[in-house]
Chain A
Amino acid sequence: MVIIADYFLNPQQYKKLPNSPYVYEFVRDSGYGIIKMPPLATPKVALTGWVSSVADQIQEYGNHGFTVLLIGMNSLPGKGVWVSELKRELLARGVEMPATMNLSVSDVASRDSTKKILVGFLR
């Protein structure tokens, strides 16, 4: 499965970024399940619980041989996935960060550009 920034599932919520459906569509068509990170406007009080639950899943799926990947968005704070908080939580558990791909605006501009960047990543 792939952990993704909220932006990739809900691009219409991000007025300064392209309203691009291509990452969602590529992940969907590749047969991956999604663990969506919460939106940037998530109340701080809720964030610890969300990040901890995502770390639980990375650890649990990893322990049982599942492929777990992460896709962030370069132009968003914390890549849209609270990367610092997630790294800190996983480090405390001795668990490695999932293989990560951070995308730029040009990567999500078209179906072809998205496919080009993700085709080798979502194997």
Chain B
Amino acid sequence: MKRAGRGTRKSGRKVAFVAHCLVNQNAKVAEFARLPGIVSPVIDLLRSSGYVIEQLPCPELLFNGVTRWWTTKDIYDNPGYRKHCRSLAKFTADVIERYHRDRYEVVLIGLDGSPSSGVRFTGTSDPIWGGRPDARIEEYKIVPGRGVWIEELAKELDERGIPFPRASGVPMDSPDFDLGRSVAELATFLSD
């Protein structure tokens, strides 16, 4: 994979590709939605910072629907799900490519802790999840790494010679998530 692009481009125009559920909490897996609709502190920060907002697809909703139950990267890490993610990555990369060509600064804001949309952190089956479905949310173990969807999107961009955007994530799938702290962290990321 090519090195992540710093992203600052000459045009002064900026676009943020955001995890689907940051704009639509209805897409979250059962019991993981933290707000009714939009994660407005995050989206409002991006808008007020001058970013065009592009919403990434939610591969989990499109694959397993709204009644899906909790899962982990280990479970989603299979050829069928990766093929599904890659098909979404193709039309998503078409849009990223257009902004890249038009010299926008492109950033990607994922959903840290998610088995699919994690950028810095994803979720593992070790030691509880992935066994019998009797785990508690507090037992969900977050580890450094990207989710399956973000990995497949990175591969698609790499094959096109497009640098992976400078990226961060909002850790809404982390059991100790704190919205205020996360928005402050995002503001720092955007100003770097």
Contacts and interface: CB of A to CB of B under 8 A. Distances in A.
Contacts of A45: 91, 94
A38 B38 contact: no
A61 interface: yes
A32 B37 contact: yes
A57 B43 CA distance: 21
B15 to A, nearest CB: 9
A48 B53 CA distance: 21
A14 B138 CA distance: 45
B91 A46 contact: yes
Contact of B98 (A1, A28, A30, A42): A42
Contacts of B24: 1, 33-35
B95 interface: yes
B98 A9 contact: no
A64 B67 contact: yes
Interface stretch (B57-65, B107-115, B172-180, B184-192): B57-65
Nearest to A56: B62
B137 interface: no
A36 B98 contact: no
What band does the interface of chain B fall in when counting residues whose beta carbon is under 8 Å from A?
Answer: 20 to 34
A94 interface: no
Contacts, number: 87
If over half of B's interface residues share one DSSP class (helix, strand or loop), that class is named, otherwise mixed; here it is helix
A56 B66 CA distance: 11
Contact of B61 (A10, A39, A46, A57): A57
A10 B90 CA distance: 23
B16 to A, nearest CB: 11
A57 B26 CA distance: 11
A27 B52 contact: no
B94 A33 contact: no
B38 A34 contact: yes
B37 A41 contact: no
Given A43-B94, A53-B57, A33 B27 contact: yes
A107 B66 CA distance: 33
Contacts of A41: 98
Contacts of A30: 37
Nearest to B20: A35
A31 interface: yes
Contacts of A121: none
Contacts of A53: 57, 62, 88, 91
A84 B40 CA distance: 31
24 contacts: A12-B52, A21-B47, A28-B44, A30-B37, A31-B36, A31-B37, A32-B37, A33-B36, A34-B23, A35-B24, A35-B55, A36-B53, A38-B95, A39-B95, A43-B94, A43-B95, A45-B91, A47-B91, A49-B87, A53-B57, A53-B62, A57-B61, A64-B66, A66-B66
- 8 tightest A-B contacts by CB? A49-B91, A33-B24, A46-B94, A31-B36, A46-B91, A33-B37, A33-B26, A36-B55
